[in-house]
Amino acid sequence: MSSLHPRAGRRCHNAVNPLHSTVYFSPDYAKELAGIGVEDTRAAYFAGRAAALGAVGPGTVTATFYNFSHELIARHLPAVWDTASPTAVLDARMRAVDATLRRLLGDAVTSPEMAEAARLALRATEACSRPARPLYAAHADLPVPEEPHLAFWHAATLLREHRGDGHLTALLSAGLDPLEALVSHTATGKGMSPRWILASRGWRRTDWEAASDRLRERGLLDADGELTEAGTALRADLEEHTDRLDLAPYEHLGAAGVERLTELGRGFLMAAAAAGAFPDDLTGTG
């Protein structure tokens, strides 16, 4: 029997993953990608997150990202690789990570706590697995940076994509298509606001409304767009399914290590958020 609390891995993920995500909201990222010719912000996002897969086309990115409109992705891929190679994009992304974390965290990037967080996160990744996890597997083939803050970000990326790949398996098992997944997540109050989703994921308001109607037909959403009891249960089952698929790295790290990594991650996250790392209206149902 594991001594790990059933949701300890999820809590750790929730502390560590947002710091990974800061780079995609960062002006440093837009600057670095524009510096290699990728000036469109959507193209920059798709390229940066997919570059580890190589010069892939829109089908691969639609499959692995899951909740973006295929038509939106196809407007930018594979054309972006004619502007910048995957290797150039990965290098630019790492420069942006360095600049972003230094700006948000200041001296903490060279602190003993950062070095400790990097060691713990990298140890957790030792138990991640490649089969059926394409985004994790692609990033696992990249070298580990030497500087602790970059190594921590790299490990956070591996843990994020490992959990994310498993989450897609859970979504498929639950019969939720990409937009139904987004609508139901937003209805929990923890997902992105509809405004952010429609602006960034390539969907139209009519698509959102159609997905909401499908969820209502399944008894998962009520007339006001709130989750029903069945919808709440489905979302809880989804997270527990994801937890089970993502258990190995946290069991490998051990309860004490997971608790410490969660504590360190929260500290860095709070500092980054206080420094303006995230848009104020990113989450919510409004």
Mean per-residue pLDDT pooled into runs of 10, the chain (286 residues): 80 95 95 98 96 98 96 97 98 98 97 98 98 98 98 98 97 96 93 85 95 98 96 97 97 97 97 91 50
SS3 assignment, position 190:
coil
What's the Cα-to-Cα distance from 236 to each of 159, 176, 184, 213, 243, rounded to whole Å? 21, 14, 11, 21, 11
29 φ, ψ (degrees, to nearest 5): -65, -50
What is the rounded distance in angstroms from the CA atom of residue 220 to the CA atom of residue 218? 5
H helices of 25-85, where? 27-35, 41-50, 58-65, 70-74, 80-83
Listed residue (132, 153, 131) closest to 142, CA to CA: 153
Distance between start and end Cα atoms, the chain: 43
Half-sphere exposure of 267 (CA within 13 A, CB side): 13
In this prediction, residue 281 carries a pLDDT of 60
Query: What was the pLDDT predicted at 106?
Result: 97
Full-model pTM? 0.94
Tens of pLDDT, residues 25-81: 999 999 999 999 999 999 999 999 999 999 999 999 999 999 999 999 999 999 999
